Amino acid sequence: MPSSATPDAYTDPVGFGQRMQILRTRRGMSRPVAAGLLGMSVSWVKQLERGEIGMPKLPVVLRIAELLRVRDLSDLTGDQSVPVDLFVGPGHPRLPAVRDAVNALTLGDSDRQAPPAVHLAARLAKAWAARHQAANHREVIGELLPGLIRDAQLTVRQSDTGTDRRTALAILSEVYSLSQFFVAYQPDSALLWRVAERGMVAAQESEDPHAIGVAAWLAVQAHRDSGQAYFDAADALTREALAYLEPALPDADDRTAAITGAIQFEAGYTAARRGESGAAWGWWDKAQATAARLPSSYYHPVTSFSRAIMGAHAVTVAVELRSGGESVRQAARADAATIPSRPRRARHRIEEARGYQLDGQPDVALAMLAQAHEAAPETIRYSGYARRIVLEETESRVPARRRRAATLAEQLELLAA
């Protein structure tokens, strides 16, 4: 490697501070922004990155890892002896079968009769319901997806009319959306993007507003989760989707109104990740107004958008704005019992845990994570935020807290190689 080349934080024997600087730069994050989000001074970050001070203690290391969305803790620390995935969960046993179905061309199925679109739609609806009801939701949908993907692809291929083809494409797009829920936070980011892109193409060809909205909603999340350098792309996609959906909102059916509200919230979520408090809460207010027009019992099968979810969304906004006190206040107002989806309820508990951790209440944070594990173990196993909190508290000086965190770490198989 030429002496002028940038070292690779993943392979070169560089120190913690230099690794942090490389990873921060790759995220498109300035030093002042990083310092502000960490609650440290710019000079402290500068000294750390220059190697003028040593690697901080584990709680701070984990906050840096969360900020930079480091996948494996050793990418930041350089210690390869104990690999610890943070924002990527373990590869699910059903991942290869789902990957094969996504990659297949279905050309070998040309002699098989495709199922009618109405039957395929009914199977898809049952799959979404199963996902919301199951504690091991990845196992459930991982079993269903290969057949759904192949049948949806075949139904598109065998459509006789333009109308039939658009109907089948809308279904195929939503099957890819379900696939994205399965693939997310697993160790195959290329497959995640392939699924997201195919879902968007199928949705656009279907000309179905709801399908387009769902595909856009998931694509926004994929961009935002790729790091701060992709926030502008997430915002641009949000604006395009809302420009398409909002004009029809007054006459929209419940599911189209719900996907519009879900995208409105995503705009606020991205603003919160940027630290833009006014914009974040402004978008939350807009999404709240959209939720208010929905029936009280309505719950969107893909996004979970509903009246009931807005309290959980408020917790997320406060947490992303790094406001511990406001996070706790919003958590007290939100009613998790009204969230019918087990994985979504578990995610809400994780967000509450983040809020209590920010507010200096680690024991309550661990209690929330225990409730998340009870609601949906597969949700917490794949959550980088939950992993960070549990790892941090295994180093607690309080014996009871340390034992509680160690129990959770064991349940999550957190330190498994």
Residue 370 backbone phi and psi in degrees, to 5: -65, -40
| pLDDT at residue 89 is higher than 70 | no
- Do residues 150 and 104 make contact, with C-beta atoms less than 8 angstroms apart? yes
- Do residues 369 and 386 make contact, with C-beta atoms less than 8 angstroms apart? yes
pLDDT, tens only, 5-29:
444 444 445 788 988 998 888 877 8
Distance of alpha carbon 205 from alpha carbon 162, whole angstroms: 10
* DSSP letter (8 states) at residue 229: G
- Do residues 358 and 324 make contact, with C-beta atoms less than 8 angstroms apart? yes
Distance of alpha carbon 156 from alpha carbon 170, whole angstroms: 10
In which band, very low, low, confident or very high, does the pLDDT at 249 lie, cut at 50, 70 and 90? very high
pLDDT in the model for residue 40? 84
CATH 3.40.50.300 is held by the domain 16-77: no
Query: Percentage of residues in the chain with pLDDT exceeding 90?
Result: 65
> Which whole number is the average pLDDT over 331-346?
92
* Ordered alpha helix ranges (H), 51-161: 58-67, 73-77, 95-103, 117-133, 137-157
pTM score, two decimals?
0.80
Q: Amino acid identity of 238?
A: T
Q: What is the largest CA-CA distance in the chain?
A: 69
Paired strand residues for 85: 72
Place of tokens 């969360």: 66
Distance of alpha carbon 212 from alpha carbon 199, whole angstroms: 9
| pLDDT at residue 180 is higher than 50 | yes
pLDDT in the model for residue 415? 59
Domain boundaries, the chain: 16-77
